[in-house]
A and B are shown apart, each in its own frame.
Chain A
Amino acid sequence: DAGITQSPRHKVTETGTPVTLRCHQTENHRYMYWYRQDPGHGLRLIHYSYGVKDTDKGEVSDGYSVSRSKTEDFLLTLESATSSQTSVYFCATSGYRLAGEVVTGDEQYFGPGTRLTVT
């Protein structure tokens, strides 16, 4: 397994406050991702990064921003937390490989998750 840690693991915050979640990896993987997981919706991509300072939006990016100033760290910021952002947040990383004649992505490794409650 990739060495991926997330901090904090649990957080309770009030509506309107900014929150930053941190993901740290020791595998030197190029790609990093932030997902949220909610009952009935599965995992949904918030933002992802394909290199240092290179990020892009995912499916549910409104209200979130990210930064990646070095390979090992990917930060997710909730600019002004709302109750709808109560969720479990997972970070993931992946490399890149060739599979036969097909250039494709590698499997994603997930961090342990952060349970965020916005009251």
Chain B
Amino acid sequence: GQNIDQPTEMTATEGAIVQINCTYQTSGFNGLFWYQQHAGEAPTFLSYNVLDGLEEKGRFSSFLSRSKGYSYLLLKELQMKDSASYLCAVTEYGNKLVFGAGTILRVKS
């Protein structure tokens, strides 16, 4: 079977750092994606990890441990515009993605 778990909601303060965790159990693994989705809009690509370690892209970083089935998305210097849903997705095989239910992040001033 396939199972991807993320916290349902998180709240953080503007300017702070927040870490959104994702654990997965899938029958295959070809990489892990993070997407951002603002309310009423389409998901947009944030990051991709296929090997263990940290990938940094500006204020956003993503970490992967394949042996633990674990990833996190780290957002630094939070801004109000970062309020959105963050979706973790795993490529089992080929190009098929399996998505978690998403984490709603609320940034407060």
Residue ranges of A at the interface with B (Cβ–Cβ < 8 Å): 1, 31, 33, 40-45, 48, 50, 58-59, 90, 94, 96, 99-100, 102, 104-113
For residue A109, which residues in chain B have a CB less than 8 angstroms away from its CB? Answer: 45
59-105 of chain B: CB within 8 A of chain A: 87, 89, 91, 94-102
**Total inter-chain residue pairs, C-beta < 8 Å:** 64
> If A41-B101, A104-B30, A107-B48 touch, does A94 touch B43 (CB 8 Å cutoff)?
no
Assess the B43–A90 pair: CB atoms within 8 A.
Answer: yes
Is the interface on chain B under 10, 10 to 19, 20 to 34, or 35 or more residues? 20 to 34
Assess the A112–B31 pair: CB atoms within 8 A.
Answer: no
Interface residue SS majority, chain A:
strand
B102 to chain A minimum Cβ distance, whole angstroms, is: 5
A48 and B87 alpha carbons, distance in the complex (Å): 20
Closest residue to B93 on the A side, CB-wise? A105
Assess the A102–B50 pair: CB atoms within 8 A.
Answer: yes
Question: Is B44 located at the chain interface by the 8 A CB criterion?
Answer: yes
> If A42-B101, A42-B102 touch, does A58 touch B50 (CB 8 Å cutoff)?
no
Question: Is B33 located at the chain interface by the 8 A CB criterion?
Answer: yes
Assess the A113–B50 pair: CB atoms within 8 A.
Answer: no
